[in-house]
Amino acid sequence: MGTFPGERTAIVTGAASLRGIGRAAAARLAREGWSLGLLDIDGDEVAALAAALASEHGVEALGLGVDVADAAAVRVAVEELGRRLPPIVGLANVAGVSSPTPYLELPEGEWERVMRVNLDGVHHVTRCAAEAMVRAAVGRIVSISSVSAQRGGGTYSKTPYSVAKAGVIGLTRALARELGPHGITVNAIAPGPIDTDIMGGTLTEERKAIMAADLLVGRVGTVDDIAAAITFLLGEESGYITGHTLNVDGGMYMH
């Protein structure tokens, strides 16, 4: 197996959203000394974030605009990151879209839209990043699933979202088996209610209180809660954890 390099890059998808998990994870990883390859459909915003984090933390960072659902565009972007940054050792698949429409009311194309981003997009980026990690003989892959996948919904987003996020867990387990011999760990995180815009906009205090009533810790989660878990699972010391889904959900789902 390869050694965990001091100079290393983590790819973070969905990094541009101002109140999103991806941005919080990128900032935390930069503080930990990771170089960053940031991908988001908003190219201008993700490029600005990369420049800001590089300046603030003294790391290398590059932000590229790409739709993770576009396999060809993803390959071009990841190859560019590989040429311009230190070895790709980490990947955080954060990019995703919500889908609050009830199943029997799904409009034409909604199922496909959610699957393309939330499941196919994870596959496209992971495939390209894993190829680089195999060459380095070391890697950490973390993908964002959801407690919605485990509970069969019952959260803000409904059936297509739950199915896609369940697919992320299945993909995580299968890849852990296939990539383990190459020194690569693969894990998922299943957040509970998190105060981000994917919950349908900024949560009001009233809405937070309603959600928190079902949580053992008495509050909804923050992006920093998830960023901390991502950073841990991407770290060198997490090398004995693979094929696992870590629930960061305030006790919503116990298994």
**Side chain identity at residue 162, one-letter code:** S
Using an 8 Å Cβ cutoff, are 249 and 191 in contact? yes
Q: Choose the catalytic residue: 103, 156, 161, 240.
A: 161
Q: What is the pLDDT of residue 89?
A: 98
What is the DSSP track for 168-208? Answer: HHHHHHHHHHHHGGGTEEEEEEEE-SBSSGGGTSSPPHHHH
- pTM passes above 0.85: yes
Kindly give the confidence (pLDDT) of every residue in the chain, 255 residues in length, as a single tens digit, with 9 standing for 90 and above.
Answer: 778 999 999 999 999 999 999 999 999 999 999 999 999 999 999 999 999 999 999 999 999 999 999 999 999 999 999 999 999 999 999 999 999 999 999 999 999 999 999 999 999 999 999 999 999 999 999 999 999 999 998 778 899 999 999 999 999 999 999 999 999 999 999 999 898 765 555 556 766 676 677 788 988 899 999 999 999 999 999 999 999 999 999 998 887
What is the rounded distance in angstroms from the CA atom of residue 19 to the CA atom of residue 195?
8
161 is catalytic: yes
The angle formed by the CA atoms of residues 144, 188 and 16, to the nearest 5 degrees, is 25
CATH of the domain spanning 9-192+222-248 = 3.40.50.720
Using alpha carbons, select from 174, 171, 152, 173 the residue that is nearest to residue 161: 152
What is the rounded distance in angstroms from the CA atom of residue 161 to the CA atom of residue 156?
10
